[in-house]
Structure 1
Amino acid sequence: MTQSRASHILLADDDPQILRLFGTILAQEGYQVTSVNRGDAAIAKVRSEVFDLVLADLAMDPVGGLEILEATKRISPETLVVIITGQPSVESSVAALKKGAHDYVLKPVAREELLHLVGKAIELRRLGEERRRTVEALQEQKKQNVELRKDLEAKYALSNFLGKSPRMRQIYELLMEITRTDSTVLILGESGTGKGLVARTIHYNSTRREKPFIETNCTVYTESLLNSELFGHEKGAFTGAISQKKGRFELADGGTVFLDEIGDISPATQLMLLRFLQERRFERVGGEKTIEVDVRVIAATNKNLVESMEKGLFRNDLYYRLNVIPINLPPLRERVEDIPLLSMQFVERFAQKVGKPVRGFTPEAMEALSRYSWPGNIRELENVLERTIVLAKNELIGVDDLPVNLRKNLQPRSDVGLSLYEHERLYILKKLAECNWNKKLTASVLGINRSSLYSKLKRYGINPRSPERS
């Protein structure tokens, strides 16, 4: 049978008739054959070429089959070697097998015997090569998984949780406690405030970090599809269920399931989720087998669930099951002092991504960013700065580089409703931006010493970090 791949065989024998006979038989079967009549020539070939199999005569002078065997195993350990001899002995056969020979065969060798011997050896070589590639692939995958996990842990490290405002410092301290527990967490906040980031930060700093983190946006699916996504389904459970499917809870066993937009799920799904949170077990849609899993549940919503309960849209008992540890994320407009820090993070990220030498903002640009209300919160800030950096032409982003709707915020705002506290706080923020967040220079511009400035920064919850110096 002709081989689909021309396996390479080296024949080493000092008998020219054997070389011609074996070479002809093997070539007719589609093998690629290289023949040599000296042992030292065989070793040289092994050094310079790749062979699947070596057939070596035991008794050649001065270099025999055992020397070829030893050299081959040293140079190319995957290559199989068969020793052939017309002068068999127990000692030589034992020595050959101990040194790693695949087989030890006696001359004369009939055609069918030769083909059977070579076929088995080549198949074993192929299986060994497949196994080697599989092991290498698994090792590489394991290495990549370890590197990916390290990257994720670094990306979502608590130390990277940006925010120096009092509210964010409180949340940071809360997260440090939450990561030590397995309690259910409910994250509340407007769209774009970073609920997904908080959920991942909790997971990748918890004892579940090496297990899956699986996110589900509950608004993407219809009721029946969401139930199938969360709990899985059996074959034939509904039209289109052509095979069994594991749900998110089952796939995340040992890890964390993040349910985003939990306030939008239907009453039926609420009931199924409630039962799961109570018992930590479920049945797949259309199934009868009860499945138990160990997962942490983190839910998030931009809705007011208390109002939803009052209107009968959200179950009270489910709310209390989810609201074990609540986290209320403030909108960006309520943490203005964090805008410089967040903005610089985005500048560093996007400047590196697009290869632009952008390193910061002019004071006017930072003032515009700080004055804008950011209805889309951090997500809007991120998108605005990505676009701005892509189009930026200078090292410092100026106010003219920003979208028109942000430039409007440089117009003087009405003083109506602003307290003395707010006036001074905004004035200090403005001077900090003008001084590139250099506190020593800012104190000098304000006409106060650094101690007084630090007292005011503490009083107003301002703790800016300069791009270059603090």
Structure 2
Amino acid sequence: MDSIGLDELKTLIEINSRINSDYTDIDALLIYILKSAMRLVQCESSSLLLANKGDENLRFAVALGPKGDEAKNIPVGKNSIAGWVAANKHPLILNDVSGDSRFSDQVQNKTGYVSKTMIAVPLCVRNTCIGVIELINKAGGRNFNEHDLEILDMLCNQAAIAYENAASYQSAREKISVLQNNLSVSSEYHPFIAKSPAVLDLIKMIDEIAKTNLSVIITGESGVGKELFAEQIHLKSDRAKKPFIRVNCAALAPTLLESELFGHVKGAFTDAKTEHKGYFETADGGTIFLDEIGEMPLELQAKLLRVIQSKTFQKVGSSGTISVDVRIVAATNRDLEQMMNAQKFRSDLYFRLSGVPINVPPLRERKEDIPALAEFFMKKFSVETKKNFTGFSQPAMDALCSYYWPGNIRELENSVERACVLGRPPLINADDLRINTAATPSAGDVVNDMAAECVGDTGSDRSLKEAMNRFKRAYVLRILEETSWNKTKAGKILGIQRTYVSRLLNELHIRDEI
């Protein structure tokens, strides 16, 4: 066997220095390792495979050379050449690949690229194989030899350590991100401010629910605080130190939602320049909060159901499965039972999600909570506006307690914020609130107005769906008029993102009126 030359040794030292100092991004590190291996051994193509968590299979992390991108999405089983190398922690030199019983022509059949010769070396750290490097087709039609193996083995020893260090660094960054996210959740959180029996009962229910891993669905009008209840389920559970990931299903285009939820591999679609970790993978061990789940497309509902049932999913563009331990908390302001009847929401998904259903009542049905909530928001915005407000005048508090609050707590918060900005200490006055208490309907007025909006001039020959759409359109128009057609402000009151306001206007054919 030829000894390693001085130039080769210098190259190995240079590579070792770079992989242990220049790279903290795992994808960039793996590409550099593989390119370095090809430069040292001189071959046509190469691949770096990593061991899957939870099974004995491997997956392509990087594939370079002709047809490399096509090969990446092909699963690699334990009975393959790479699988044997990983299981036995022993390298192989094969100068007639097709004659080896472990050779699978799956990649060859799919890509058309013919593998003739191969050298495969395990990546091991502390006697654990974390992956395999394969170099394919020695340059010039030559055979691989023991000298190639010695060089590649030295590189792999250093590469495995560098990969573990980069993975540890990335894991630490993710843990810091989780801690920052959870700190943000707890710092943004205002304690359950409740005197009403309905909310006090919900708080007790949350304490019990948090002890379990049951899926939860939270229903209620926009602005009632559904996300706050979801956060508390997480913070009071054993998952509190793990991620709490918020996903607004209405804020993402249907074409992007699957990729955001489950991630994608490089090359999965035109703009997939790098591999992307989705929300479910990020939330592993913690809780994922799917807000506005009623806006999720039916096709994606089926994939979500599979995640709940099997606790596994596939990234977009990949055939490999990823296992996750995630608690799902969903929320909606829509009538999911009505959507099921209209075949717009899967009944099997609904029953899987509604292990424990929670309905948060609107603010007008728990007016006992208004004074304390208003006081909390006043203190918060007094600090932000640097004004020393000490309370509300009696007319102001009377106005708050008599108003209908169609936008619920979110609208109350906005009103108090506006009052703190415009008002003068020490007290917030009724005029500062800018709410039209004269327009607040009685319960009877609300019913009559809704009936009038839904039925219209045509009497009782209007279908339920048609009547509800008519009311929805009228309500959105009213909010737009109250906000001077400011979509951002309207979205806050409606409890939806500004981007969804535009979609809603299209659905309700309001655009021409803007």
When the two structures are superposed, what TM-score results if normalisation uses the length of structure 1? 0.55
**Which amino acid letter does the alignment assign opposite residue 250 of structure 1?**
E
1:290 pairs with one of 304, 321, 331: 321
Matched residue, 2:210: 179
Matched residue SS, 1:345 = helix
1:375 pairs with one of 397, 406, 414: 406
* Contact residue 368 and residue 407 of structure 1 kept, 8 A: no
* Structure 1 residues 307 and 416: CA distance shift in structure 2, 3 A: closer
Q: Residue 378 of structure 1: CA displacement?
A: 0.4
Matched residue SS, 1:201 = helix
Matched residue SS, 2:436 = helix
CA–CA distance in structure 1, aligned partners of residues 176 and 312 of structure 2: 34
* Structure 1 residues 281 and 369: CA distance shift in structure 2, 3 A: same
RMSD value, Cα: 2.8
Matched residue, 1:268: 299
2:254 pairs with one of 220, 223, 246: 223
**Which amino acid letter does the alignment assign opposite residue 386 of structure 1?**
E
CA–CA distance in structure 2, aligned partners of residues 212 and 144 of structure 1: 8
CA–CA distance in structure 1, aligned partners of residues 234 and 173 of structure 2: 25
CA–CA distance in structure 2, aligned partners of residues 279 and 145 of structure 1: 25
Map Cα deviations across residues 407-444 of structure 1 (whole Å, 9 max, x no partner).
665xxx87989xxxxxxxxxxxxxxxxxxxxxxxxxxx
Alignment of 1:369-408 (within 5 A): 369-406=400-437
Matched residue SS, 2:382 = helix
Matched residue SS, 2:232 = helix
Asked if 1:255 corresponds to 2:290, the answer is no
Map Cα deviations across residues 72-116 of structure 1 (whole Å, 9 max, x no partner).
xxxxxxxxxxxxxxxxxxxxxxxxxxxxxxxxxxxxxxxxxxxxx
**Which amino acid letter does the alignment assign opposite residue 380 of structure 1?**
E
**Which amino acid letter does the alignment assign opposite residue 319 of structure 1?**
Y
CA–CA distance in structure 1, aligned partners of residues 418 and 192 of structure 2: 23
Asked if 1:325 corresponds to 2:356, the answer is yes
Matched residue, 1:342: 373
* Contact residue 234 and residue 285 of structure 1 kept, 8 A: yes
CA–CA distance in structure 1, aligned partners of residues 330 and 173 of structure 2: 34
* Contact residue 178 and residue 243 of structure 2 kept, 8 A: no
Alignment of 1:73-88 (within 5 A): none
Q: Residue 148 of structure 1: CA displacement?
A: 7.3
CA–CA distance in structure 1, aligned partners of residues 313 and 304 of structure 2: 9
Matched residue SS, 1:214 = strand
Q: Residue 376 of structure 1: CA displacement?
A: 0.5
Matched residue SS, 2:267 = coil
**Which amino acid letter does the alignment assign opposite residue 310 of structure 2?**
E
Alignment of 1:88-237 (within 5 A): 149=182, 152-153=185-186, 156=189, 160-237=191-268
Q: Residue 168 of structure 1: CA displacement?
A: 0.3
* Contact residue 290 and residue 330 of structure 2 kept, 8 A: yes
**Which amino acid letter does the alignment assign opposite residue 331 of structure 1?**
P
Q: Residue 222 of structure 1: CA displacement?
A: 2.3
CA–CA distance in structure 1, aligned partners of residues 411 and 296 of structure 2: 26
- Structure 1, unmatched stretches of 5+, are 1-137, 418-470
- Structure 2, unmatched stretches of 5+, are 1-170, 446-514
Matched residue SS, 1:239 = coil
**How many residue pairs are counted as aligned between the two chains?**
276
Matched residue SS, 1:219 = coil
When the two structures are superposed, what TM-score results if normalisation uses the length of structure 2? 0.50
Alignment of 1:1-16 (within 5 A): none
CA–CA distance in structure 2, aligned partners of residues 272 and 149 of structure 1: 27
**Which amino acid letter does the alignment assign opposite residue 398 of structure 1?**
N
